[in-house]
Amino acid sequence: QKEVEQNSGPLSVPEGAIASLNCTYSDRGSQSFFWYRQYSGKSPELIMFIYSNGDKEDGRFTAQLNKASQYVSLLIRDSQPSDSATYLCAVTSYDKVIFGPGTSLSVIP
């Protein structure tokens, strides 16, 4: 079993819709959870982090964490074409960050 799993996509949503990106992880001891965005040809950049169960909102982005289910998600409200990118879930485990394979999101105008 891979340590961090994501649907590879591509996920296509119309402009203005909600995009939902999902991630599961295998290490129950993981404490910190992150979402990175990677535009084509660019390096990943951190956009959200969450440490506690529940929701965390930042503008149009909401991160959700359920440690019992070992599940993290990212919701993007009012999706814009500029949100089109690959979204990487990352989890810290044993003092190291582990990245998932990423989900490609395409927002259609």
Partner 1 sequence: GAGVSQSPSNKVTEKGKDVELRCDPISGHTALYWYRQSLGQGLEFLIYFQGNSAPDKSGLPSDRFSAERTGGSVSTLTIQRTQQEDSAVYLCASSLREDTGRAFFGQGTRLTVV
Residue 108 exposed, middle or buried by CB count within 10 Å (0-12, 13-18, 19+): exposed
Angle at CA 40, nearest 5°, toward 22 and 81? 70
Q: Does 98 bind partner 1 (CB under 8 A)?
A: yes
Tokens linked to 60: 């149009």
Is residue 25 part of the contact set for partner 1 (CB under 8 A)?
no
Which residue, 61 or 99, has its beta carbon nearer to partner 1? 99
Binding mask 31-60 for partner 1 (x = CB under 8 A): -xxx--------xxxx--x-----------
Query: Where does this chain bind partner 1 (CB under 8 A)?
Result: 32-34, 43-46, 49, 86, 88, 90-92, 95-102
